[in-house]
């Protein structure tokens, strides 16, 4: 059965939501066959696939390109696309046009936007226009140049209070779900218990309504150290190296082709 924003909302309190990132048709098909509920074409494509050191250089063109690839998998998972760096802070007409492009041309079924109460009025206008919006609070990777580093959010009482207010503002604006990134676990639980829409966590403890991981992390494809909250459920990177090495040896020893 096709996952929609409505079916995701109904999962709250019923069973955990499973979400992953994917950036190509092959990964999207494998993820969907495994039964994941949501595939996010994240701007994490920048630092996980395209060689950038953050998500900041990722453009709308890049997101649209990778979203179209994932959409061509024609899966039952809900396909969401990130609105990349800076886009959500232009005037409404431009933001709506960007979302139109991601949905009408690239095939996204929803968009994800970073930011809390300060962009809630924009999100309310987008949802009124028919754009399903997945809110994103806690660590906002697009703010890394301002922050100077990645860190946990909501540890201090004032920041925790602000994040709870952000969550409520985004729910009121019409978001169908919230992504809580690097949010202190007790606060993530409080937000999850307070809002009526699902929360999906990454690095935010075990009490969210669902979890999301970057596909390269969970497949063991990420070079170097993984984030502390991530876990490799496979060793695809090692198997890939073995495959390339076996091919190289077979060609050089004239064993392939036979």
SS3 assignment for 127-149: HHCCCCEEEEEECCHHHHHHHCC
- What local confidence, expressed as pLDDT, does residue 188 receive? 98
How far is the C-alpha of 16 from the C-alpha of 53, rounded, in Å?
A: 31
3-state secondary structure at position 178: strand
Is residue 242 scored above 80 in pLDDT? yes
- What local confidence, expressed as pLDDT, does residue 28 receive? 98
- Rounded to an integer, the average pLDDT of 177-203 is 98
Domain boundaries, the chain: 5-218
Is residue 245 scored above 90 in pLDDT? yes
Per-residue pLDDT tens over the stretch 35-45 = 999 999 999 99
Q: For residue 76, give the DSSP letter.
A: S
Paired tokens of 251: 């060609």
Confidence band for 227, pLDDT divided at 50, 70 and 90? confident
- What local confidence, expressed as pLDDT, does residue 105 receive? 98
Is residue 225 scored above 80 in pLDDT? no
Confidence band for 222, pLDDT divided at 50, 70 and 90? confident
How far is the C-alpha of 231 from the C-alpha of 104, rounded, in Å?
A: 34
Q: What is the pTM assigned to this prediction?
A: 0.96
Percent share of the chain, pLDDT over 90: 97
Confidence band for 171, pLDDT divided at 50, 70 and 90? very high
From 114, 140, 171, 181, active-site residue: 181
Q: In CATH, what class is 5-218?
A: alpha beta
Query: Is position 181 annotated as part of the catalytic site?
Result: yes
CA dihedral 203, 26, 73, 11 (to 10 degrees): -30
Per-residue pLDDT tens over the stretch 94-134 = 999 999 999 999 999 999 999 999 999 999 999 999 999 99
How far is the C-alpha of 64 from the C-alpha of 89, rounded, in Å?
A: 18
- Rounded to an integer, the average pLDDT of 149-173 is 97
Within 10 angstroms of residue 42's Cβ, the number of other Cβ atoms is 27
How far is the C-alpha of 250 from the C-alpha of 245, rounded, in Å?
A: 9
């Amino acid at each position: 059965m096709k996952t929609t924003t409505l079916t995701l909302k109904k999962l709250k309190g019923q069973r955990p939501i499973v979400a992953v990132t994917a950036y190509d048709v092959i990964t999207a098909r494998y993820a969907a066959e495994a039964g994941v509920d949501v595939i996010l074409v994240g701007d994490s494509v920048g630092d996980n696939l395209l060689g950038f050191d953050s998500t900041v250089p990722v453009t709308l063109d890049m997101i649209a390109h990778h979203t179209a690839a994932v959409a061509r998998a024609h899966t039952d998972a809900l396909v969401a696309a990130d609105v990349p760096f800076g886009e959500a802070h232009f005037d409404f007409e431009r933001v709506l046009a960007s979302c139109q492009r991601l949905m009408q041309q690239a095939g996204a079924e929803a968009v994800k936007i970073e930011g809390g109460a300060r962009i809630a009025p924009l999100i309310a206008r987008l949802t009124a226009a028919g754009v399903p919006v997945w809110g994103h609070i806690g660590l906002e990777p697009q703010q890394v140049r301002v922050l100077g580093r990645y860190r946990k959010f909501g540890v201090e009482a004032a920041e925790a209070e602000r994040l709870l207010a952000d969550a409520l503002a985004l729910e009121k604006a019409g978001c169908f779900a919230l992504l809580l990134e690097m949010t202190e676990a007790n606060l993530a639980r409080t937000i999850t218990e307070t809002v009526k829409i699902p929360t999906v966590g990454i690095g935010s403890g075990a009490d969210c309504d669902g979890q999301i991981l970057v596909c390269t992390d969970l497949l063991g494809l990420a070079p170097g150290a993984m984030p502390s909250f991530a876990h490799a459920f496979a060793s695809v990177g090692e198997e890939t190296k073995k495959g390339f090495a076996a091919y190289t040896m077979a060609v050089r020893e004239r064993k392939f082709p036979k």
